[in-house]
Amino acid sequence: MTIRIFGWIGGGMALVYNIPQLYRNYQRKTCDDISKSSLCLRVISYILYIIHGWLIEDPPLLWMTLGGMIQIIIIWIQIVMYHDKCHKTETVIMPQTSMDPIETVTV
């Protein structure tokens, strides 16, 4: 029973590392720099860890992984909520200031 304290501490610390990302997404109202494939892999790994924790009856592993999964779901919700802002572009037409033809610049 006392050995599980390491699981609770480690799991609690693992829950903390998503909080800055959640807050940053909320503050900036954008998720354009988050890798969707990385999130998909994390969801799959969390599901496998949850099943494993349930099968071996390890509460720290089960509950802390479930907490991490909830955080990833919140990040997915943020991606959906802020999707329009991430992909919204504005077209600005600048007035021509001279009678010269438009220059073409090759980069």
pLDDT digits (tens, 9 = 90+) for 23-72: 888 888 887 778 888 888 988 988 998 899 899 988 888 888 899 899 99
| Token pair belonging to 68 | 């991490």
Q: What share of the chain is helix, strand, coil (3-state, %, to 5)?
A: 65, 0, 35
pTM for the whole structure: 0.66
Neighbours of 93 (CB within 10 A): 5
Write down the H helix ranges in the chain.
4-16, 19-28, 36-55, 59-81, 83-86
